Amino acid sequence: MHIRNSATALLGYSFGLIPVPLCAGLLLWVAGCARPQSVDRATLLARAVTLTPADPRLADLYQHACRACHVVATSGAPLTGDRDAWQVRLNKGMPVLVVSAIAGLNGMPAGGQCVRCTADDYQLLIRFMAGEGQ
């Protein structure tokens, strides 16, 4: 009787608690699927590796720094040219993004491996990666 009660309590506990994160996950998943996906990820990746800033100086900075991660699917970085991913970032405001680039953010190293970049360069590089003007 005691064991059965514990088991019931445990079951009740499990059913009470576990579904919450499950439902939250499911909701996120459904929301993610419901969002109109203009371009699939494979296409975004294939495109990201082909993109280069038109300005030669900016292209040089980009090739030697940002590109190392921002065209790599597993890096966790928003892909170059992935407008949807960048729009989420741009919503924070450009000054915040420049600070992130300079100070670093999680997997994003401080300065983004660019020792020559100025604050203006970061802004231009971010605009380029966000797909503005492409």
Site of interaction with ligand HEC (CB under 6 A): 65-66, 68-70, 75-78, 89, 92, 96-97, 100-101, 105-109, 112-114, 117, 122, 125-126
Give the shortest CB-64-to-ligand HEC separation in angstroms: 9
* Helices 119-129/56-64 angle, 10° precision: 80
How many helices (DSSP H) and strands (DSSP E) are in the chain? 8, 0
Which tokens belong to 119? 């604050």
Nearer to ligand HEC, 13 or 57 (CB): 57
Amino acid identity of residue 118, one-letter, is T
Give the shortest CB-125-to-ligand HEC separation in angstroms: 4
Nearer to ligand HEC, 17 or 41 (CB): 41
Give the shortest CB-128-to-ligand HEC separation in angstroms: 9
97 burial type by CB count under 10 A (0-12 exposed, 13-18 middle, 19+ buried): buried
